[in-house]
Copies of this chain bind each other. A is one copy, B any other.
Amino acid sequence: MSSTLTDELKNRRPENVKILCQLLSIPSVSADPQCADSLHQAAATLSELFQIAGTGWSCEVVPTAGYPIVWARYRALGNRRRAIVYGHYDVQPADPLDLWTTPPFEPTLRDGKIYARGATDDKGQMLTHILSALAWMKTAGQLPIDLDYIIEGEEEVGSENLERFLAEHRDELKADVAVISDTSQYAPGWPAITTGLRGIFACEVRVHGPRKDLHSGVFGGAIPNPIRELTRLLSLLHNEHNEVQVPGFYADVVPLTDADRAGFAELPFDQDAFLAETGAIGLRGEAGFTPLEQRWARPTLEFNGIYGGYTGPGPKTIVPASATAKITCRLVANQNPDVLMKSLEVFLRSQLHPSCRLEFTADHGCPAFLMDRQSPFLQAASKAIEAGFGKAPVFIREGGSIPVVATFKRLLEIDTLLLGWGQNTDNLHSPDEHFSIEDFHRGTLASAILWEELAKV
């Protein structure tokens, strides 16, 4: 990259922080209907930023059934590559307000960090990719890659209108790769690329016994107890090695490579600190895997809730009518949520005692995401981060799901580069959310270099 661009980014630092503060001072809380005007204001502010970009740029604030999507496009003759940049301008609610050191929508600099709701999630991180493009335009008059920015205002409330937008504009959104900065570095000084996300499916299992709650003295001993049957069924789902016992559950799992495992093993992981953070007195994970592997790269079957019979204070002598469990499975690459949800149902039905009835309710599913470690786009991003942060990134994964990544894969058939500039400790979704100013500038630099590296692929 040209030293002119590097210098430009250095010079623009005060101006970039000013733009960030302007955006952070808008209380664009998507969950709060009283903030509706602020959400439109945030979208308009972003749109204005793109207006100043110059030749080749266009920007549209696209209405949806909810809050609008800011869709900015850059096109230049001769560019071979195109990337989609996804981000969101809405933020989490700020309460409890009294736990904030300074007001959530009065951005404040303290100890090298900017404190405000949305500082890291996602205004600060998302903005780096806009500011990097503006610097390119200012110094080179052009960008080496075509870009589509899709910045929505409903991420914190379920992105209900995003998928329809993507489906409607599918043909216009052809691209080589997507870029999102809405994750974190592994730890301070450990820049990271998230190369995998787990998928998920959710379901509810209800066992029915008698028609209504019965007197346990009069009927107990002869009539089936649905709590007993449900707990018996659930106990069949794991073995003593904490392996899931649904037939075929692991059949399609992409195994961890030696390189994956070696990479995870190099990451600092403090088990005592992890336990202290969770308050659990011990670990309990699938035998043969480390905690990071268990959380990032292995599927799970987790009980999220259970209820049945009497749940108030003291005893009540009944045989209950039914008992219900809520189950989610986290999936890894190549596992099919629909197939496995059916396998779970078939297995439970095959084990059911004939004195009880079983009701199975399927809920949403989403496949896992795993980036090919040999992908040239991944290598390009790695170079950009090394240049921007002064240290090569580690490859990490996340145990949760980011639905838009699966949607990009399904609808647009592209992978997503998850480039986290923030830290896990930035108080996302909590009071005193913040973002390191240094990471903000490093991220902007890495983003500027990324456009060049992606263009070279």
Q: A residues engaging B (CB < 8 A)?
A: 198, 200, 202, 204, 209-212, 214-225, 227-228, 230-232, 234-235, 238, 274, 278-286, 291, 294-295, 298, 300, 302-311, 314-321, 323-326, 328, 330, 353-357, 363-364, 398-401
Contact = CB atoms under 8 A, between A and B. Distances in A.
A400 B217 contact: yes
13 contacts: A202-B317, A217-B398, A217-B400, A219-B399, A220-B302, A221-B300, A225-B284, A232-B238, A303-B323, A304-B310, A306-B311, A310-B326, A317-B328
Contacts of A320: 303-305
One complex includes copies of this chain to the number of 2
Contacts of A223: 278, 280, 283-284
A278 B216 contact: no
A232 B285 CA distance: 15
A274 B234 CA distance: 29
Contacts of A307: 306-308, 311
Given A282-B353, A302-B319, A303-B323, 6 more contacts: A223-B280, A224-B284, A225-B302, A227-B325, A284-B356, A317-B328
A200 B309 CA distance: 18
Contacts of A274: 222
A324 to B, nearest CB: 8
A323 B306 contact: yes
A222 B316 contact: no
Given A304-B309, A305-B320, A222 B283 contact: yes
Given A278-B211, A317-B328, A230 B227 contact: no
B282 A354 contact: yes
Contacts of A357: 281
A305 B295 contact: no
Question: Ordered nearest first, which 6 A-B pairs have the shortest CB separation?
Answer: A211-B279, A217-B400, A282-B355, A235-B235, A202-B315, A227-B303
A221 B308 contact: no
Contacts of A234: 227-228, 231-232, 235
Contacts of A230: 231, 306
A250 to B, nearest CB: 13
